């Protein structure tokens, strides 16, 4: 193709060339997608219906679940349809929308996780003023800031990507991924790649630095608690957040800091699945397994059928 004006669609290479194998991928994607939907909707329902969970920490957790639902819905349904019908074409506008949406949800996730670290810092390091500092207005502003920052960040990446000239339209991935789109360019991409990379690393390290500083103060405060039970209780509220942040950073760093290969690679496919599918699926599971309040609310949903605030009888394993 001579220039970007002639590119009206892209061809995704997907998972396999054979329809039989794609059917198995469809079944696998369907199971993963339904599991992610169910887990995140359960988190949202439990927090919404249980009055006891109407606190800043669970308000942010609901926002995280909504973002996770969005991020996994950007890529998986389209990949399922393509696998089922063995048609991997996507329009130019559809590719733009997919890149923008995916980066929006992933970036907002990271900004929200940074805000959640500050919430844990205030809760543990300044518990007497927690309700005053993290009031309803502050929580809404923090969540809204994460969403707006994700919109702006995604717009920058999407605009810089589709401002280039494409010489080909075959993408070695099951969705429109920026790193794969850049390989199709006829332009000199050094300035674009360097500029986007520097800006992305600045934003990522700034958020990561804020999370690290927050947990340094948290650990100092936890170690000052005189009783072992008190230390364990305080630290247990931070463990799910730490695991989710570690999962997010490790998969994202592995995806965008690895050497960029020009030839098609199965590793690229695996890495894309790791950062676009695994976190939205695992985040609600991590919070459910490590959080007694969430397990209590879910137990009420399935066994008690009421959310009156009375303490539910829990099985010995919980």
Per-residue pLDDT of the chain (318 residues; tens, 9 = 90+): 444 447 788 988 877 777 778 888 889 999 999 999 999 999 999 898 888 888 999 999 999 999 999 999 999 999 898 888 888 889 999 999 999 999 999 999 999 999 999 999 999 988 888 989 999 999 999 999 999 999 998 988 888 888 888 888 888 888 888 878 888 877 666 566 667 767 877 888 889 899 999 999 999 988 888 888 878 887 888 888 888 888 888 877 776 666 555 555 667 778 888 888 888 888 888 887 777 788 888 888 777 654 444 444 444 333
Nearest Cα neighbor of 255 from 211, 200, 194, 199 is 200
Alpha helices in 126-189 (DSSP H): 130-133, 136-161, 178-182
Q: pLDDT at position 4, please?
A: 44
Q: pLDDT at position 252, please?
A: 73
- The two tokens of residue 290 are 């490590």
Torsion sign, CA atoms 197, 203, 209, 212: negative
The strand pairing partners of 91, in sequence order, are: 9
The structural architecture, per CATH, of the domain 4-304 is Up-down Bundle (1.20)
Q: pLDDT at position 65, please?
A: 94
Helix (H, G, I), strand (E, B) or coil at 11: strand
């Amino acid at each position: 193709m001579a220039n970007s004006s002639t590119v009206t669609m892209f061809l995704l290479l997907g998972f396999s060339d054979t329809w039989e194998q794609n059917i198995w991928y469809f079944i696998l994607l369907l199971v993963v997608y339904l599991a992610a939907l169910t887990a995140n909707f359960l988190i949202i329902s439990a927090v919404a219906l249980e009055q006891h969970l109407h606190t800043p920490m669970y308000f942010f957790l609901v926002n995280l679940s909504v973002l996770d639902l969005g991020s996994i819905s950007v890529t998986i349904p389209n990949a399922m349809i393509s696998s089922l019908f063995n048609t991997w074409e996507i329009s130019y506008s559809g590719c733009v929308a997919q890149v923008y949406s995916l980066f929006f949800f992933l970036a907002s996730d990271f900004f929200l996780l940074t805000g959640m670290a500050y919430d844990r810092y205030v809760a543990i390091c300044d518990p007497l003023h927690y309700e005053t500092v993290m009031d309803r207005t502050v929580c809404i502003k923090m969540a809204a800031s994460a969403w707006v920052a994700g919109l702006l960040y995604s717009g920058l990446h999407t605009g810089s990507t589709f401002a280039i000239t494409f010489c080909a339209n075959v993408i070695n991935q099951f969705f429109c991924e920026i790193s794969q789109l850049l390989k199709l360019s006829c332009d000199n991409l050094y300035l674009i790649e360097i500029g986007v990379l520097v800006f992305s690393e600045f934003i990522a390290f700034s958020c990561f630095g804020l999370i690290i500083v927050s947990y340094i103060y948290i650990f100092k405060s936890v170690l000052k608690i005189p009783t072992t039970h008190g230390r364990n209780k305080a630290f247990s509220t931070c463990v799910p957040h730490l695991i989710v942040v570690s999962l997010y950073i490790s998969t994202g760093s592995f995806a965008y800091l690895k050497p960029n290969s020009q030839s098609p690679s199965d590793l690229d496919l695996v890495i894309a699945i790791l950062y676009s599918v695994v976190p939205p699926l695992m985040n609600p599971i991590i919070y459910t397994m490590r959080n007694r309040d969430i397990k209590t609310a879910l137990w009420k949903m399935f066994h008690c059928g009421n959310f009156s605030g009375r303490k539910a009888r829990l099985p010995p394993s919980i």
